[in-house]
Structure 1
Amino acid sequence: MRDYTFFQGARFYISNIFRSERFDIDRLDMSWADEERPEFCRGLRVIDHREGSTEMVDGEEADSLIYSLAYISSKDSDSGPGAIDMYLLNALKTKDFLVSNHEKLEVAKPKEDLLH
């Protein structure tokens, strides 16, 4: 598996920072040699494997996304692993990546089987 990709004609190194059943979030870093810094040089790539779509996020949006992922991951709640996927679905739809701007993330809990 290669650890780089090309975007806007430049080579970016990929570091996967999050993976779920549906999403991958990669950090993209580029080193430039010329005097001019490219428009996009560092950021995040959010890949939705079910929809086959990719979203690039940088700047304040990337900061909000990282903060929100860390917050949801560290929060001791009963929402389970689906809470991050629900957050990402809402964030990608609304283009608002700060978790505090979203309603409470409710995830359907599996029904427990009764043993007789």
Structure 2
Amino acid sequence: MRDYTYIEGYRFNIWNVYRSKRFDVDRLDINWADKDRPEFVRGLRIVDHNESETYLVHGDDADNLTYSMCFLHGENKDNRPDHFDNYLTLATSKKEYLVHKLFEEEKPTEEAVH
């Protein structure tokens, strides 16, 4: 497997941080550039294999995604990967990556992760 990818002419290293049957979440860090500084320098890439979609997040969205995945991992005592997939499905559709805001209106966060 190739450990780099190109985005808008810039090369990024890839580190997979989460994998399920449906999703891959990869950390992307720029490692080669020869133009002006791009807007996206480091962040996360979500690959939805069911929908054949790829989402790039950086800045606050990447921080919220990282925090939310850590929070869900800590709260997921049953070790069921469908919690992550449910979160990622909703997060990518609503473009909201902070788990507390995502489930705020529908149900309490504790119910969302148990």
Q: TM-score, normalised by structure 2?
A: 0.84
| Residue number in structure 1 paired with 2:21 | 21
Measure how far apart 1:36 and its partner are: 3.9
2:108 corresponding residue in structure 1: none
**In the alignment, which of 86, 92, 112 is matched to residue 105 of structure 1?**
112
Q: Tell me the CA shift for residue 12 of structure 1.
A: 0.6
Instruction: Give the 4+ runs in structure 1 shifted more than 6 A.
Output: none
Question: Counterparts of 1:6 and 1:98 in 2: how far apart (Å)?
Answer: 27
2:91 corresponds to which letter in structure 1? A
* Aligned-residue identity in percent: 47
Conserved in 2, the CA contact under 8 Å of 1:79 and 1:106? no
**Residue 79 and residue 31 in structure 1: after superposition, are their counterparts in 2 closer, same or farther (change >3 A)?**
closer
Deviation at 1:32, TM superposition (A): 4.9
CA RMSD, Structure 1 to Structure 2 (Å)? 2.0
Which residue identity lines up with residue 84 of structure 2 in the other structure? I
What does residue 2 of structure 1 align with?
Answer: 2
Work out the CA distance in 2 between the residues paired with 1:19 and 1:47: 10
Q: Aligned partners of 1:75, 1:21: CA distance in 2, in Å? A: 21
Is 2:72–2:113's contact at 8 Å kept on the other side of the alignment? Answer: no
1:38 CA drift (Å): 1.6
TM-score (norm 1): 0.82
- Equivalent residues of 1:29, 1:41 under 8 A apart: yes
Helix, strand or coil: the match of 1:38? Answer: coil
Considering fraction of residues, name the structure with more helix. Answer: 2
Instruction: Report the CA distance between 1:76 and its aligned residue.
Output: 4.1
* Unaligned residue ranges in structure 2 (runs of 5+): 104-110
1:91 is matched with 91
State which structure, 1 or 2, has the greater radius of gyration over its C-alpha atoms: 1
